[in-house]
Amino acid sequence: MTWNGHIAVVTGAASGIGTGIAECFAEVGAEVVVADINERLGAQVTADLQGRYGKGLFIKTDVSKADDCKRLIDETLSAYGQIDTLVNNAGVNFVKPTLEMDEADWDRVVNVDLKGSFLCSRYALEAMVARCSGAIVNIASVHTVATLPAAAPYAASKGGVDMMTRSMAIEFAPYGIRINAVSPGLTDTQIWNDIQDAAEDAELARQHWMDNIPLARVQTPREVGNVVLFLASEQSSYVTGANIFTDGGMTIQLTNRERFASKSLEGKAPQGGTPI
């Protein structure tokens, strides 16, 4: 397909996965709206996209606020006349023991990760329905199917994003609008750096994560972006309501895998099959 004239809005595009997604769209020739609350980083990313691809418009946006979400869509329509793809990527990662959380902690995560995705979708869908065309890709998480302790608001938000995706996919399918989700696993972003920095033994922490990922590596933001690009393209014209996992296989195993590829095993699984 040709991406010339394709308008993609990416929230949380000033860093991490969002930047990788924005780069993927710009690289193929789409116009990219960089939406983020961080004005400095947002302007930097936009300038980089413009310099490398001649694409990029920054709109400062707090997705937890309805007025900001509506303004994002209105300004995009004013600049380009249409919205072909909305990527709801803006999110807040959060880990804190439940008994130490307060209402503000809960609201901060849910308002960005879940409500923000709803609000941006709600206003973008008005324009998409009018054209009977469009795609929305919500960035969920492996936390939609498996989670960790002390992550209740984040897990709840991402689980909500998954089910919201399904409900909206059904509702707007008659208008030719496809709505899907992508659930990344461990990704090479600031969060991964923070995990390593917080560990008592960074090398041991890295090995722990690699032992829990069948592909035994961290993915890049661009690898998430490639899947988003697929879901926004005509190549996925019959895909809606799906949640695609880009997690290196993290969520498919029952327990920590053993390294069966050792010389002693010669590539053969032990008797009795895979241990449980």
Two tokens, residue 87? 């990527």
One-letter amino acid at 15 equals S
Would residue 154 show up in a list of annotated catalytic residues for this protein?
A: yes
Strand order from edge to edge, sheet including 7-11:
57-60, 31-36, 7-11, 85-88, 134-139, 177-184, 243-246
Residue of 6, 165, 8 lying closest to 86 (CA atoms): 8
> From the candidates 53, 154, 175, 238, which is the catalytic residue?
154
Residue of 208, 91, 209, 95 lying closest to 149 (CA atoms): 95
Based on DSSP, count helices (H) and strands (E) in the chain, helices before strands: 9, 7
Compute CA distances 13 → 10, 19, 209, 231, 251, whole Å. Answer: 6, 5, 26, 18, 26
Tell me the catalytic residues.
154
